[in-house]
Amino acid sequence: MPCRANAPPGELVKAVEEFNRGEWFECHETLEELWVGEKGELRDFYQGVLQIAVALHHWRNGNFKGALILLQGGGECLRRVSSVCLELDVARLQKDAARFLDELSALGEGRMAEVNPGLVPRLHLLS
C-alpha cells in the first residue's frame, strides 16, 4: 500500500514527539504497533523510522555496531518510500540519517560520543 496523503495517525504524531525528545526507545515501541499491521510502502516507512530511532538509542548507549547496522537498514527501508509519507518529510530524514551515519563511521567506535549533537536526526511533519 502506498503512503497516503491524508493526515498522520495520532500514534505517528506521538512517535514524532518522542523521537524529537530523544525518547528513541519509546518511539520504537509506539511505531512497532503501527508497523506490525502494515504492508508495502507503509511497512517500509514505519520500519525505516523505527530502525533509525533504535539506532540512535544504541548510539546513546555506546553500541557502535548496533547503531551502524540499524542506521544502514533504516536508510535502506526509507529509500523504498515516497519523499513524503503521512506528512512526514522522509527525504529529509534519509539525508540527515545518512549524514549522521557518515560522521559516526568516520569517528569510529572509540570516539562515537563525539558526534556533533547538531547532526542527530529529527523528524519533521509538513503540516
Query: Mean of the per-residue pLDDT values for the chain?
Result: 94
Cell matching residue 51: 530502525
From 63, 53, 69, 60, select the one nearest 20 (Cα to Cα).
53
Dump pLDDT digits (tens) for 72-105: 999 999 999 999 999 999 999 999 999 999 999 9
How many CA atoms does the CB half-sphere of 32 hold within 13 Å? 9
Dump pLDDT digits (tens) for 21-34: 999 999 999 999 88
Dump pLDDT digits (tens) for 49-59: 999 999 999 99
- Break the chain into its structural domains and give their ranges: 10-119
| Res. 1: pLDDT tops 60 | no
Q: pTM of whole model > 0.85?
A: yes
Cell matching residue 3: 503512503
Query: Which of the 8 DSSP states describes residue 1?
Result: -
Q: What is the CATH number of domain 10-119?
A: 1.10.3450.10
- pLDDT over 90 percentage in the chain: 85
| Res. 6: pLDDT tops 90 | no
